[in-house]
Every structure is written in structure tokens, then in C-alpha cells.
Amino acid sequence: MNLAEIIRTAVGNTFRSRLRTTLTVLAIFVGAFTLTLTNGIGTGIRNYISSQTSSLGGDDLITVVKASLREGGGFGASSEGPTEYDPDKTMLTGGPGFSFEALTSADIAAIESIPGIIEAEPLRIVAPDYVQFRDGPRYELPVNPAPPELSVDLVAGSYFAARGTYSDAGVGEPAGELYLPVAFVEPLGFASPAEAIGNEVTIGITDAFGAQHELTARVAGVQQASLFGDSALLSHDLSQALFSAQTTGLPDAVTGVYQSATARFALGASAAQLDAIKEALAAEGLSGMTMADQLGSFQTVLDAIIGVLNAFAIIALVAAGFGIINTLLMSVQERTREIGLMKAMGLGAGKIFVLFSAEAVFIGFLGSAIGSVVAIALGSVISNVLANGLLSDLQGLRILSFDWVSVVGVIVLVMLIAFLAGTLPARSAARLDPIDALRYE
């Protein structure tokens, strides 16, 4: 009996007891179905994040904070005990009872002096009161603190040039630019995103003494709703102008401290060059993270969540493996005389082992293939419904996306588990004594 005959015989034997085989296949189906769905969720979220972040650019940016903020000592005592008071350390409050070490103008200068750093821009937190177009209604304006170099997904308009400043504001001096969220277009009075481009809006902001200031800004682009498009993105000069208005009358000790800074390095810098920049930052008591570093942390969390979900599916598959063992052990018992006859006719123990192992693998293939196909079909329907309904604001998000390599991997994994489960009954069949087997009643 050659391999093709063994496989053909194994497939035929599988359907001798259809009810028993069907129940075993259903048990495998549950595990394969779950595993395929959880992998689909992971793939869908990763693809969406990848598409969003790839359009952002920012490959030449590194976020810099004080090293103490990343080392666990930023929000209270470290594990090594209380920190000794340093009168030269500049602190920022992050809410009642919380404070952390802040960057100063001297830190910004130190960052810019590091070889490989082209420029550094401190993060300025601004909180505008409202945005208004002409004499229309006023709306609260949330601001994205991200650096304006990021290439967000624009519905209309163009990206900031240089520092995002234009000189034809009609107020006698240059003014800054912003990307307006698409949700603000119609409420502000624009007929379409394209109509908003080039128009000037008024932004109101209140300083620490309660005086309200109004600044003029030009709409350079309208950004699509996404993970990063829910707030307005300001150009460097507009952010600086709003920050200056917000801190009017405050001393330099207050206005010259920052939570973090964004530094720009040469695009395409090697890993060794980035490591050198990070080491130079560490020597200044600073810590830097590139966009890739930040996404890596997020991916680690996502992988951990998907891993936990996959673990439950694996448990279901292991349970199904015991079903395979039970099915084949019963099959061996029912076919004891048949096995004895095959041995008497010259079929060796190795081929008997392969025959029963092939039956186990085929059962695993049936359950995993059906489970994966049903998961893909159902997942695609669910993904389409969510994309056109609940998640319609997140353009391009497919909550379930299936990678064929991953699907094939699930099927192969289940077949491997089935093979391992089938080794016990297969070995039992291979070790039967032909004479005893033929006498079995």
C-alpha cells in the first residue's frame, strides 16, 4: 500500500462513523473558527494603524522629554525611595498631587546642539476658547498637540509650507495656518471642504488673567476624520502666537518650560545614528522616542491582547484533540480484526501508524478548513456592516481583515494538533498483535 492508497483509505475510514466524526469535527470547528476570527481582528487593526501612521510621515521626528519622566520618577517617588530636592530642577504640575520634570529653554538649546539633530521645537499646550468664521456661530476648538510636520489625511487643501505662515492675512502682519477637522466645515458656514481652504477664521483664547485675545488664522487644509483627525492641527507659528497670547503677562519662569519637544533629524538616518542621538540625549538627562518606538509599544500591547484571545482558542483546540483521541481509540477497537487482517497480509506497523495518523490529520483538516471558511465569510459580513455603520467615521477601518498566510497557518496548526492527538491511538493500532487481533470478538 503506497502513500496515495493510505490517504484514500484514511479518508474513507473517516466517514465510517459519520455521527462520531461530525461531532469531533464540530469541536475542532469551534477552536479554528475562534482562532481565525481573533487573528482577523489583529490583522484588521494592524492594517488600519499601519495605513494611518504611514500617511502621517514623521519618520524624521523624535519626541524628547526629561529622562525622569520615562524612568518612573515623573509622578512621585521612584522605587529607590524619595528623590532629593534639586532647586535647579524645573517642574510642571499634571493635576492635583502630580508633578513632573519639565524641559527648559536651555534643554531645547542642548537638543539642537546634538550632532544629527537639525532643529528642535518645544511642545506648547494651547487651549483656545473658540473658532469662528466671520460673524457666524462660535465653536470650541480642540487642538492636536502633535507636530505639524505630520502628513495627516487631507480631504482638501495642502500641507503647511515652512512654518505654516502666510502674509496676506489682511491684518498687516503674517498669521499662522491650521488644518480644520472635516466635522467643522458645515457648522462654521462652509458649503464644502474645498470652499474652506484659504479662508480666515478667528480663534479666541483667554490668558491667565481672564483677558480674551483674538487671532486670525488661515485654513490651509481640511483633515479627514481618523485616529488623528478629531482635533485641529496648528502650524508652528500659529501655535506660538496662541501660546504667547495665552501666557500674556506671565514671567519667563512659567512661559519658558515645556512638557516635551519634537526634534527633527536627517530623513533616512541609520539605526546606529539614531542610537547615537539617543545616547547624546541621555547624556543631557533627556530621553527620546521616535515614531517607530511609540508604535512599537502600541503594537506590543495589541499583540498581547490578541495573544490572550488566541490562547482561549488554543484551549478549545486542545479540548478538541481529546475528542480526536477518543474517536480514533473507538475506531481502533471497532476495527481490531481488520487491523489484524491487514498485518497478516503484510502491512507493517509503520503503515498502520501512518494510516490512523492520516485519519486524525484529515479530521483536523476538515474542522479547521470549515471553521476558517465560516469565520472569513461571517467576519467579512460583520466588517462590512460595521464599516458602513458604527465605524463609518473611521475611513478605511476594516475591523476584521484576513491574511491568507495567517489562515493557512491556523489550518496547519490545527492539523499538527490533530496529528499529535492521533499518535496515541495510531501507536496502539500499530502495536496490535495480528494473531490476537484476528481472535478479537
By the 10 Å C-beta count (0-12 exposed, 13-18 middle, 19+ buried), 30 is classed as: middle
The model's pLDDT over 316-329, given as tens digits with 9 standing for 90+, comes to: 777 777 877 777 77
Model confidence at 8, pLDDT cuts 50, 70, 90, reads confident
* Mean pLDDT of the chain, nearest integer: 80
**Residue 74 confidence (pLDDT):** 45
**Residue 2 confidence (pLDDT):** 67
Which helix or strand (DSSP H or E) is residue 39 part of?
Answer: helix 18-56
**Residue 75 confidence (pLDDT):** 46
Grid cell locating 296 = 512599537
Handedness of CA 103, 106, 110, 111 (dihedral sign): positive
Of residues 90 and 149, the one with the higher pLDDT is 149
Mean per-residue pLDDT for 125-150?
88
**Residue 426 confidence (pLDDT):** 77
**326-346 burial, b for 16+ CB within 10 Å, e for fewer?**
ebbbebbeebbebbbebbeee
Nearest in space to 310 (alpha carbons), one of 42, 44, 72: 42
Task: Check: CB of residue 131 under 8 Å from CB of residue 141.
Answer: yes
**Residue 410 confidence (pLDDT):** 87
The model's pLDDT over 168-180, given as tens digits with 9 standing for 90+, comes to: 645 556 678 999 9
Model confidence at 230, pLDDT cuts 50, 70, 90, reads confident
Mean per-residue pLDDT for 51-63?
69
Which helix or strand (DSSP H or E) is residue 53 part of?
Answer: helix 18-56
Contacts of residue 441, Cβ cutoff 8 Å, sequence gap at least 6: none
Write the CA distances from 168 to 175, 196, 244, 320, integer angstroms.
Answer: 8, 16, 21, 72
- What SS3 class is residue 67? helix
Task: Check: CB of residue 128 under 8 Å from CB of residue 234.
Answer: no
Q: Enumerate the β-bridge partners of residue 81.
A: 78
**Residue 440 confidence (pLDDT):** 53
Model confidence at 290, pLDDT cuts 50, 70, 90, reads confident
Alpha helix segments (H runs only) across 120-267: 185-188, 193-196, 236-246, 252-255
Q: What is the dihedral of CA 104, 107, 112, 115, to 10 degrees?
A: -170
The model's pLDDT over 231-289, given as tens digits with 9 standing for 90+, comes to: 898 998 899 899 999 999 988 777 888 888 888 888 888 889 999 999 999 999 899 88
Model confidence at 346, pLDDT cuts 50, 70, 90, reads confident
3-state helix, strand, coil in the chain (%, to 5): 50, 15, 30
Mean per-residue pLDDT for 131-157?
87
Mean per-residue pLDDT for 32-42?
86
